[in-house]
Chain A
Amino acid sequence: MEESIAELRETFRTGTTKSVSWRKKQLRALLDLVNENEDSIFQALDQDLGKSRVESYRDEIGIIKKSASYSLSCLDKWMAPKKGELPLLFFPAKAEVMPEPLGVVLIFSSWNFPITVALDPLIGAISAGNTVLLKPSELAPACMSFLTQTIPRYLDNKAIKVIGGGADVGKRLLELKWDKIFFTGSPRVGRLVLTAAAKYLTPVTLELGGKCPAIVDNTLSNPSKAKVTAKRIVGGKWGPCTGQACIAIDYVLVEEKLASTLIETVKKYIKIFYGDNLKELKSISRIVNQLQFQRLVNLLKDPHVAASVVYGGSVDEEKLVIEPTILLDPPLDSEIMNEEIFGPLLPIITLKNIEESIEFINSKPNPLVIYAFTENETFKKRILSETSSGSVTFNDSMVQFLCDSLPFGGVGQSGFGRYHGKYSFDTFSHEKSVLHRAFYPELEPRYPPWTNFKLAFLKLAYALDYFGLILLMSGFRKS
């Protein structure tokens, strides 16, 4: 392991990864990798998570292709220094901010979007000119194996490496010095990563999770909007990896009087999308492993929670499948309402007045996303200014992930740092400020011995009071 990292450091030192042509070559190679191995990727995702082809394309392959193409088309622009404006006082001078790679970066990816969450940060790290070590999650073993075997065939081995293995490998990696660590996963492990990074003062980006709420107001009274809302909620809960996604809808907030409308419409679409019952489930992923399966089943064990199930609840331990399940008003102090669910269980919490949802959300740690289905502009403004989350999406779910121009990241317990599009490039770069000065003109007042005149001059200079300076210099102003 230490040898691999030494090689990455040496490669970085030679400057190979800094050239725009190297970066573009790697990004093109990554596109080739995805294009030429689509079937293998589909198979691996099916093996690890039971993801269907459409879901795999929409959430993994398509995302990576889009991200790599976008980076390729923007790379020259991103790499160009940004001109800075300088006040007249500095004349003649030139200022710019130059992005440069950080060096050797470590990327930890998670198991639920094992291709996207591994390769999308990789695209950012490569675009920014770094050497990279990628550690995919061992909890998605087929994908990890795919990555460890395929990446070396397409990308520059000396600069981009993949390492397999379990938590012990992760631990050892954290004992070494990196120039940046990018971590996607749980807050618990996020703390460990950050603590280890502190020893070397390594900057970190943490993409964590949280309980992403969906607020639904009286747009439900309008039947066609109710339909769209329900489809988007169902699509935003069970669509991504059967709820095992950091941006999946965790729970829904709705007014009491509209709860039954919501539940009925949601049930309808669950049946249309996924099937009527456990045996006939299709177009939906499964639970990743026994541990997660048990965790989810345990959430339902609490008798009060079990009593609140209004749809679904059946499980198939052998196939690691849990039916899409809806709960109505489980107790607020139950685990299901306090831990991130990360699975196919959807609590619906009723409120007397939908405006109470703001207080409800604020009583919990900052989530990665807040979803709000409403057309009330005042309510939208209140949500934006009175809650805090990584991002907010109005009247839809999940799609903000597709916007390359929007930063994707958390705040508070949902993490810090961000990526996607140019933000990926920036997160793996150091923005170096560069100031070019000329030898002339010289400002004598900069130098001691100090006098009242020099003090007066400098005070005016710092206030950019050019007129005052002229007065001072021409003797019309006392010092």
Chain B
Amino acid sequence: MASEEEKKAVFDAESAKEVVKELRASFAAGKTKSYEWRSTQLNAMLKMMEENEPQILAALRDDLSKPELESSIFEVAMVKSSCRVALKKLKHWIRPEKAKTSLITFPSSAEIVSEPLGVVLVISAWNYPFLLSLDPVIGAIAAGNAVVLKPSEIAPATSSLLARLAADYLDHSCIKVVEGAVPETSALLEQKWDKILYTGNGRIARIVMAAAAKHLTPVVLELGGKSPVIVDSDINLQVATRRIIAGKWGCNNGQACISPDYIITTKSYAQKLVDSFKCELERFYGKNPFESKDLSRIVNSNHFARLSKLLDEDKVSSKIVHGGERDEANLRIAPTILLDVPQDSLIMTEEIFGPLLPITLVDKVEDSFDVINSSGTKPLAAYLFTNNKKLKEKFVATVSAGGLVVNDTTVHLTEHTLPFGGVGDSGMGAYHGKFSFDTFSHKKAVLYRGFACDAFVRYPPYSRGKLRLLEALFNGSFFGIIRALLGWFKS
């Protein structure tokens, strides 16, 4: 008698090939190209989110113990909003863009046509499993592609919910969800895709890009990094603290790519900052944060062990000034603040991705920029709290990151007119709003010429006269052209 495992189909390279074959056939048949198909799918996705919110919240609770409000807003509402933006703007995005032409190609007209890339792969992450799965898929659909979504196995309840909902609501012949872990992902990566969008960490990103290289597949990599927060002294401390807390513990308990990772502030201001944190943390989460319903848990024991290790390092454990409590059975770590940890400690070199917030001290706030730039890597986001105009200007000019926010944290994610993506180690490419549409499109240049006005100067036999005329044409100078023509007629 076959065991349960044997009965369950194995998704291997053959299965992956079949999936891609089916999607390629659907794409070649033109199914995904029409405006009607795209808007039908986007509407279906909207309906899917509206009709299944309780199940979605439940799955997120299972996988992450995500507070209902976070799930409702950052996963459901954001996906719905993204669908609505795409639906509203789709006709406009699809329309070709006129391009200018110059004297050299006169007479002509030109435009840039957006066409779908074909069959694309979206590999998403576990921390915002709905948002990071569906937001890219919205872009892929809007741009007219067939798409395979591979949700993260580290969030199994949401992965299987996504698979079920997608099969029920979306066009199965063009949009598929493939569940699984390393073997299934590897099988998918062996296939030829027209684009891959990966959200996750740098180690896997290298594997994805190397696999893509074999097929010359372009990739978008949404990675992470250590997003720093510079805190100046002459500010509204309470508002700043609350916004940092909202971006850190309010975002999946610090397990978010754009969560503030660490703080840089002056030695003289540090104590005030720590006191403010203590006060606001208690206001938000109560005296015993383990009893608060408003904090996600650590996703699994691997990450719990990883974060514990960061705290247990010798030179770090003595620097805890708030929190530090752990509950391994329930995968909980209290909001923890550390003061003045050494730059070479693990917690200051690796992306934390958890509820630990180290504060690094500098003499003058301007020294913060050196601290950030000396890390040698560019983060996904960087934040600054200040009222000092010059400091803001220096921040914007010298700190390179995916995106910057002054006097707030993380909110730039919600603004679809800003491209969301990294640079250097934090990734390549961007999406959200129209950027999603663009990232899954090929922008085809089209030049329309007529048969009239054939410039004889283009054709051999070549002569000095033709050379002079060409030079004049390239320089765009009428006078030069006339002179060359006159010289031509003379010779």
Distance A232 CA – B450 CA, assembled complex (angstroms): 12
Option from A100, A375, A390 in Cβ contact (under 8 Å) with B445 = A390
Distance, CA A390 to CA B443, complexed state (A): 8
Give the chain A neighbours of B294 by CB distance below 8 A: 448-450
Q: Which residues of B contact A402 (CB under 8 A)?
A: 102, 104-105
Q: A179 contacts which chain B residues (CB < 8 A)?
A: 424
Evaluate contact between B73 and A459: CB separation under 8 angstroms.
Answer: yes
Determine which of B77, B461, B474 lies in contact with A462 in the assembled complex, contact meaning CB atoms within 8 Å. Answer: B77
A400 touches B466 (CB 8 A): no
- Nearest CB of A to B388, in Å: 13
| Contact, CB under 8 Å: A201 / B216 | no
What is the CB-to-nearest-CB distance from B294 to chain A, in angstroms, rounded to a whole number? Answer: 4
How far apart sit A393 and B445, CA to CA, in the bound complex (Å)?
8
With both beta carbons as reference points, the residue of chain B lying nearest to A392 in the complex is identified as B446
Given contacts A201-B427, A437-B407, contact A62 B474 (CB under 8 A): yes
Whether B400 and A430, one on each chain, are in contact in the complex, defined by CB atoms closer than 8 angstroms, is: yes
Please tell me which one of the listed residues B239, B403, B444, B467 contacts residue A434 in the complex, with CB atoms under 8 A apart. B403
Chain B residues in 8 Å Cβ range of A428: none
Q: Is the CB of A431 within 8 A of B284?
A: no
User: Which residues of A are found within 8 Å of B105, using beta-carbon distances?
Assistant: 399-400, 402-403
B 217-253 contacts with A by CB, 8 A:
218, 221, 223, 235-236, 239-240, 242-243, 245-246, 250
Residue interface bits A382-403, CB-to-B below 8 A is 1, else 0: 0011101111111110011011
A164 at the B interface (CB under 8 A): no
Find the residue from B245, B284, B424, B430 having the highest chain A CB count within 10 A.
B424
Binds A, one of B266-274, B344-352, B452-460: B452-460
Q: Which of A408-457 contact B (CB under 8 A)?
A: 408, 411-413, 415-418, 430-440, 442, 446-450, 454-455
Task: Tell me whether A439 and B454 are in contact (CB under 8 A).
Answer: no
Chain B proximity of A96: nearest CB distance (Å):
9
Q: In whole angstroms, how far apart are the Cα atoms of A433 and B403 in the complex?
A: 5
Choose among A15, A18, A431 the residue that contacts B419 (Cβ–Cβ < 8 A).
A431
Which residues of B lie under 8 Å from residue A229 when comparing CB positions? 451
Please give, as numbers and ranges, the residues of chain B lying within 8 Å of A282 by CB-CB distance. 460-461
Question: Does B214 lie at the interface of the complex (its beta carbon under 8 Å from any beta carbon of A)?
Answer: yes
User: Which A residues are CB-close (under 8 A) to B406?
Assistant: 434-437
**Are B451 and A219 interface neighbours, CB within 8 A?**
yes
B60 contacts the other chain (CB 8 A): no
Selected from A53, A85, A412, A462, the residue in CB contact (under 8 A) with B216 is A412
Instruction: Check B212 for interface membership: any CB of A closer than 8 A.
Output: yes
Q: Which of A185-205 contact B (CB under 8 A)?
A: 187, 190-191, 194-195, 197-199, 201, 203
User: Is B340 interfacial (CB-CB < 8 Å)?
Assistant: no
Residue of A nearest to B462 (CB): A54
Q: Is the CB of B246 within 8 A of A446?
A: yes
Residue of A nearest to B240 (CB): A439
Contacts of A208 in B (CB 8 A): 216
Point out the residue from B209, B213, B429, B467 that lies within 8 Å of A57, measured CB to CB: B467
Interface centre among B69, B284, B392, B401 (most CB of A within 10 A): B69
State the CA gap A234–B77 with chains docked (Å).
58
Residues of chain A within 8 A (CB-CB) of B108 are: 396, 399
Residue of A nearest to B396 (CB): A434
Q: Are B418 and A435 in contact (CB under 8 A)?
A: yes
Which B-chain residue is minimally distant from A270 (CB atoms)?
Answer: B460
CA distance A430 to B462 in the complex (A): 43
Cβ proximity bits A157-195 to B, threshold 8 Å, 1 near / 0 not: 000000000000000000000010000000100110011
Report yes or no: B407 in contact with A390, Cβ–Cβ below 8 A: no
Given contacts A102-B423, A436-B392, contact A418 B443 (CB under 8 A): yes
Partner of B454, one of A199, A228, A417, A462: A228
**Chain B residues whose CB sits within 8 angstroms of the CB of A442 once the complex forms:** 239, 242
* Minimal Cβ-Cβ distance residue in B for A414: B216
A403 to B111, CA, bound (A): 11
Q: Provide the residues of chain B in CB contact with A432, threshold 8 Å.
A: 400-404, 423
Binds A, one of B123-131, B166-174, B356-364, B408-416: B408-416
Chain A contacts of B454 at CB under 8 A? 228, 231-232
Does A406 make an interface contact (CB < 8 A)?
yes
Q: Which of B80, B285, B396, B446 contacts A384 (CB 8 A)?
A: B446
A235 at the A/B interface (Cβ < 8 Å)? yes
Compute how far the CA of A402 lies from the CA of B387 in the bound complex, rounded to whole angstroms.
Answer: 48
Q: Are A190 and B33 in contact (CB under 8 A)?
A: no
Asked whether B187 is an interface residue with its Cβ less than 8 Å from the other chain, the reply is no
Interface membership of B442, Cβ < 8 A: yes
Residues from chain A with Cβ under 8 Å of B69 in the complex: 448, 450, 454-455, 458
Task: Check if A62 sits within 8 Å of B73, measured CB to CB.
Answer: no
In angstroms, Cα B80 to Cα A392, docked, is 36
Quote the shortest CB–CB distance from A366 to chain B (angstroms): 9
Verify B400–A400 contact, CB threshold 8 A: no
Residues on A with beta carbons closer than 8 Å to the beta carbon of B412: 95, 433, 435
Residue of B nearest to A179 (CB): B424
Given contacts A208-B216, A402-B105, A433-B420, contact A95 B447 (CB under 8 A): no
Cβ-based interface call for A463 (8 A): yes
- A407 interface neighbour in B427, B443, B467, Cβ under 8 Å: B443
In the complex, A408 Cα to B110 Cα: how many Å? 13
Q: Are B404 and A201 in contact (CB under 8 A)?
A: no
Q: Per-residue 0/1 for A275-294: is the Cβ within 8 Å of any B Cβ (1 yes, 0 no)?
A: 00000001110000000000
Interchain nearest-CB distance for A388 vs B (Å): 6
**Are A201 and B209 in touch, CB under 8 angstroms?**
yes
Q: A399-B449, A439-B236, A449-B292 are in contact. Are A415 and B408 (CB under 8 A)?
A: no
Q: Does A138 contact B (CB under 8 A)?
A: no
A58 is an interface residue with CB less than 8 A from chain B: yes
Query: Which one of A55, A195, A415, A430 contacts B423 once the chains associate, using CB atoms below 8 Å?
Result: A430
Enumerate chain B residues within 8 angstroms of A235, measured Cβ to Cβ. 458-459
Nearest Cβ on chain B to A308's Cβ, whole angstroms: 26
Minimal Cβ-Cβ distance residue in A for B284: A448
Q: Which of B115-160 contact A (CB under 8 A)?
A: 115, 117-118
A474 within 8 A of B: no
Partner of B292, one of A273, A274, A407, A448: A448
Q: Is the CB of A416 within 8 A of B216?
A: yes
Question: Which B residues touch A406, using CB under 8 A?
Answer: 99, 110, 112, 445, 447
Q: Is A28 an interface residue (CB 8 A)?
A: no
Closest Cβ neighbor of A388 among chain B residues: B115
A218 CB within 8 Å of chain B = no
Give Cα distance in the complex from A187 to B217, angstroms: 11
Give the contacting residue for B428; candidates A201, A400, A435, A459; CB below 8 A: A201
B357-408 contacts to A, CB under 8 A, are: 373, 387, 392, 396-398, 400-408
Docked CA distance A87–B112 (Å): 29
Report the Cα distance A225→B452, complex, angstroms: 9
The 8 Å CB contact of B101, one of A191, A405, A436, is: A405
Question: Is B113 part of the contact surface with A, judged by Cβ < 8 Å?
Answer: yes
Contact at A393–B72, with CB atoms within 8 Å?
no
CB-based contact B424/A455 at 8 Å: no
Within 8 A of A (CB), among B457-491: 458-463, 466-467, 470-471, 474-475
A20 to B317, CA, bound (A): 48
CB pair B206 A199 closer than 8 Å: yes
Given contacts A404-B102, A437-B407, 10 further A-B contacts (CB under 8 A): A54-B462, A187-B216, A191-B216, A232-B454, A395-B449, A403-B447, A432-B401, A435-B415, A458-B77, A462-B73
Q: Give 10 A-B contacts (CB < 8 Å), ordered by A residue.
A: A195-B213, A201-B223, A235-B459, A393-B447, A395-B448, A396-B449, A413-B216, A436-B405, A446-B243, A448-B69
For the complex of A and B, 9 pairs with smallest distance between CB atoms: A283-B460, A54-B462, A194-B213, A198-B209, A391-B445, A406-B445, A396-B449, A433-B418, A416-B218
